[in-house]
Structure 1
Amino acid sequence: MRTIVSPTDFSACAKYATDAAAELARRQGATLHLITCLDLPSGWDSMSQEQQALQPRALEKSQAAQRQLQELGRSYTGLAVETRVMPLPVRTSLNAYAQSQSADLIVMGSHGASGKQEYFIGSNTQRVVREVHVPVLVVKAPLPDLNFDKVVFASSFHENEREAFLRFKELVKPFVPEIHLVEIHTSSLFDPPYILSHQALEDFRGLCAPFRCKTHILRNYSVDQGVRVFADEIGAKLIGISNHHRHPMKRMLAGSNVEALVNHADIPVLSIDLPIVPNENPVPG
């Protein structure tokens, strides 16, 4: 892992995320990129210094934010830190920046949401998870002792989810973790037969080496609830989930397991994006 990007609005919640990103960058030997997004004139990034100077209020705002980013970066001693001020919206600028820097990971904070906001408005974090095709680690609380030594990876364990799991394993590798592979059945028509789920889990167990690994097939009325209850029961420090993309209408009607976990989980959630596969059953996420 070489490049970790962490967006901030300088709130306490965002600071939890940038602190976690800095610690991960330190452990991985990666460069930390701190960015913030402001309401700036269209095309601000492509303007020359002379053009920006013609809009003094925007320039002053941009320069003040840059100073805040640099001050934050200096607080993370012993790290290589880059800073960047970009225009809103967050998801668009963050996606462009992450792609331009070949980012390995985005770390960002979230307050969560409830009710209709989850499906119709959504938070910046939800939209980033939905639209930015880079693994996203969502942090909601301070992590003074960043230690992902017991982790959950929730999936339907299809063959094409191996890449997502291996990315997850790479991130947690420095913590020498105990890995729990979890599949949640919800009594729906999409649930595979138990014997097939068991075989798929055993195949993925082989990918866990050299780490300790346990497999679980559980039942709950929703994937989100099942994963969170299990993670709480075992004292997990991190939840990983492969991020299958859904049609927006399906997301609105049935919900997204990834976005629900991002909203409701108390511990960090790592959403790992996967390429869109035509006609694939959207389970889980």
Structure 2
Amino acid sequence: MNRILVPYDFSEVAHHALNFASDIAQKLSGTKITVFNVIEQPGPETFKTMGVTNPDPMENLYIKKMIDTVEAKMNDLMSDPTYKSIDLSYKIVLGNPFKELAQEIDTEKIELVVMGTSGASGAEEFFVGSNAERMVRYAKCPVITLNGPASTDGINDIVMASNFQEVPKGFVDKVKALQQVFGAKLRLVKINTPASFTSTRHDRKQMEAFIEEFGIQNCTYESYNYSNEEDGVIAYAEDISADMIAIGTRQRRGIGHFLAGSIAEDVVNHAKRPVWTYGLEEEE
């Protein structure tokens, strides 16, 4: 997690995300945080990063004023003494928010995105609503989303929900690294629904085998009955007063059998605690 990206639109929830990322950076030496703002283009895709190509004169002036405004705000943010002890920088780009963030993750080898699930509106609107959902589904690195203030010092119990079948090692390694950063207990849970029900005995053996296979430590495990998976994950986290939820996205097998696509997005949209998601390549 040494390269963290924080999508930033100067909203309150974006500020909470930056503070949470800063807490992580203080726990991990050598961590760099980039605060990332996208100015959406008002017209065709003729603009480049921090510049324009053959623009309409009025559009050129409009974009320049927006860049100047955002840059001034960014400079104020960089001078905030709250962040004096971390390696903090910013980047302003022009373009489509989702595409620009995806490219930044890829080209800069970002290891973690920390972002709010709601934000500003109007000209400064950034990764909110459907854009946040798309990042959760498609990001090639872990994403932590939060909708309010949160402190890393309060992350003591992390719920990891799965069906514990053919779980990719890469996902488990990421979860174990997350657990280590916070020094948290991992609370493994399988959500049993009427449409996909297994016995407590079956679930216990399955989870014990999972724990042994991957060398999971400092953990608990149990099955939890609910009408559907996404609400079950949230309800379980609330029942045990968990501090974070960790789920995988997009796989067609294993954890992705039920924790994929819209299910992960639903958890992100409705959970009252930070949610960590990681999307692996889809398996045939």
Same fold (TM over 0.5): yes
Other-structure match for 1:169: 176
Other-structure match for 1:118: none
Q: Is this contact kept in 2: 1:20–1:146, CA < 8 A?
A: no
Structure-to-structure mapping, 1:1-285, within 5 angstroms: 1-29=1-29, 30-40=31-41, 42-45=45-48, 55-75=60-80, 76-111=83-118, 122-144=129-151, 146-188=153-195, 190-191=196-197, 196-206=202-212, 207=214, 209=216, 211-244=217-250, 256-278=262-284
Q: Is this contact kept in 2: 1:14–1:109, CA < 8 A?
A: yes
- What whole-Å deviation, never above 9, does each CA across 1:231-266 have from its counterpart, x for those lacking one? 1111110000011257xxxxxxx9821011011100
CA distance in 1 between partners of 2:240 and 2:265 (Å)? 22
Q: Is this contact kept in 2: 1:149–1:237, CA < 8 A?
A: yes
CA distance in 1 between partners of 2:199 and 2:95 (Å)? 46
Give the C-alpha shift of residue 191 in structure 1. Answer: 4.7
- Tell me which amino acid in the other structure corresponds to 1:267: R
Identity in percent = 24
- Tell me which amino acid in the other structure corresponds to 1:13: V
- Tell me which amino acid in the other structure corresponds to 2:279: D
- Relative to the length of structure 1, the TM-score reads 0.82
- Relative to the length of structure 2, the TM-score reads 0.82
Q: May I ask how many residue pairs the two structures share in their alignment? A: 261
Give the C-alpha shift of residue 48 in structure 1. Answer: 5.7
Bigger Cα displacement from structure 2, 221-230 vs 58-67: 58-67
CA distance in 1 between partners of 2:245 and 2:5 (Å)? 20
CA distance in 2 between partners of 1:203 and 1:195 (Å)? 12
Unaligned 5+ segments in structure 1 are 113-120, 247-253, 279-285
- Tell me which amino acid in the other structure corresponds to 1:35: F
Q: Is this contact kept in 2: 1:152–1:180, CA < 8 A?
A: yes
- Tell me which amino acid in the other structure corresponds to 2:22: A
CA distance in 1 between partners of 2:201 and 2:270 (Å)? 31
- Tell me which amino acid in the other structure corresponds to 1:156: N
Give the C-alpha shift of residue 43 in structure 1. Answer: 4.1
C-alpha change, 1:51 and 1:79, in structure 2 (3 Å) is: farther
C-alpha change, 1:69 and 1:227, in structure 2 (3 Å) is: same
Q: Is this contact kept in 2: 1:20–1:143, CA < 8 A?
A: yes
Q: Is this contact kept in 1: 2:246–2:277, CA < 8 A?
A: yes
Unaligned 5+ segments in structure 2 are 120-127, 253-259
- Tell me which amino acid in the other structure corresponds to 2:108: Q
